[in-house]
Amino acid sequence: QLDAILIEDPSNVYYLSLFTGTTATVLLTMANRYLLVDYRYHLQAQRQCPQFEIVVYDQSFDDFIEKLQAKLSLDEVQRLGFDGSHLTYTRAMAIKDRVDANFMAVDLMALRAIKDATEIEQLKQAIALGDQVYLNVFDHIKVGMSERDVVDLLEVELKKLGAQRFSFDTIVASGLRSSMPHGVASDKLLEKDDIVTIDWGVVYDFYCSDCTRTFFMSPPTNKQLIEIYNTVLTANQLAIQAIKAGVSSKVIDGIARQVIADGGYGDHFNHGTGHGLGIDIHEFPRLNQHSDVILEENMVVTVEPGIYVEGLGGVRIEDVVRVTKDGCEVLTKLPKDLKYKTEGSI
């Protein structure tokens, strides 16, 4: 049992305190809540975190340790936990060597997995905004544009709609490059017969969206790519239908994986089916072959099966869902049936 916990990961700091600065340390003891910041963030911390005692240090590590130790001594902390998944080894050892407490790593991966009502609303807003960005841009995607041009269109639109930024490096992978699951946009030009995968997300009010859609630049003629698209779509739909509280993450992954294997493409789906989503783009839990995590109500996860065939192309379809007691609520509202570029199509 711990007497206190020390947290420095910016996402966890924001989750616990609503502090948005880039450098801060949360110290939670049995008696008090402290936010340690250097003098640059003093006023910001006071305004954003009235429920915390703000402890200011002078940017030196020695002063940080002195202020930290004073609070540990005041609250009689003997067993101090730290977020082992985010605090660097060097930083952890430097603190451990200087504080008078037993220093123990703890796993905070599950801390943010179950979303409260406010977080769910923030996620819905971020996802709706991300959907609208895509809808507003789709008709402007033309043959002869580069993949990077598409990213530029998305970025202009997300800023116009009020998003803070992309939630990750946007993937635009066209033609043969669509067989790269993480094909970050390049200078390749979009061609008439290309298949195009776009995986994008936005940050709005500090919460992330994440979505992938695949479409064709003209009516598709490659029967194998059409087959692959329909197989991925079925995998996505059946996995979503199976999601509910009490089901193992591994089971959901297995459903998507089996559909793809039955379609003859089992060797071409080499990533997990999904992941948690929230303040960070990748959160707990993971939906993959190795995860025994049981889904709980109000977890928010992605469902994103894909098939990638080198020398041909690839397809991924991704939605975000909220786990409910008896099923799930699909938060992504974009259509996902097979689409191809015509004037005004989507």
How do strand 300-303 and strand 53-57 relate by DSSP bridges? Answer: unpaired
* Neighbour order of strands in the sheet with 202-204: 165-166, 202-204, 207-208
Separation CA 229–CA 172 (nearest Å): 17
Name the amino acid, one letter, at 22.
T
Q: What is the pLDDT of residue 343?
A: 52
In the block, which residue shows the tokens 């007691």? 325
Residue 344: predicted pLDDT: 40
Domain limits, the chain: 4-106, 117-330
User: CB-based contacts of 43: which residues, under 8 Å, 6+ apart?
Assistant: none
Please state which of the four CATH numbers 3.40.50.1110, 3.40.50.1950, 3.90.230.10, 3.90.226.10 is assigned to the domain occupying 117-330: 3.90.230.10
pLDDT value at position 105?
87
Output the six-digit token pair for 25. 């340390």
Nearest alpha carbon to residue 79 among 107, 106, 103: 103
Q: Which residue has the tokens 């059409």?
A: 226
pLDDT per residue, tens digit, the chain (346 aa), is 899 999 999 999 999 999 999 999 999 999 999 999 999 999 999 999 999 999 999 989 999 999 999 999 999 999 999 987 777 788 888 999 999 999 988 888 888 999 999 999 999 999 999 999 999 999 999 999 999 999 999 999 999 999 999 999 999 999 999 999 999 999 999 999 999 999 999 999 999 999 999 999 999 999 999 999 999 999 999 999 999 999 999 999 999 999 999 999 999 999 999 999 999 999 999 999 999 999 999 999 999 999 999 999 999 999 999 999 999 999 999 999 999 987 544 4
Half-sphere exposure of 332 (CA within 13 A, CB side): 30
Kindly state the tokens that stand for 93: 């050892």
245 vs 293: CA distance, rounded Å: 11
Nearest to 125 by CA among 338, 326, 331, 339: 331
Amino acid 346: pLDDT: 40
Sheet holding 274-276, edge to edge: 283-287, 274-276, 300-303, 319-323, 328-330
Peptide bond before 285: cis, by omega within 30 degrees of 0?
yes
* 3-class DSSP state of 36: strand
Amino acid at 196: V
Give the single-character DSSP code of 295.
P
Q: d(Cα 217, Cα 173) in Å, to the nearest integer?
A: 12
Predicted local distance difference test score (pLDDT) of residue 40: 95
CA distance 185 to 162: 23
Give the model's pLDDT for residue 84. Answer: 79
Q: Decide if 261 contacts 218 (C-beta within 8 A).
A: no
Q: Do domains 4-106 and 117-330 have the same CATH topology?
A: no
d(CA 75, CA 94): 21
Q: What is the CATH number of domain 4-106?
A: 3.40.350.10
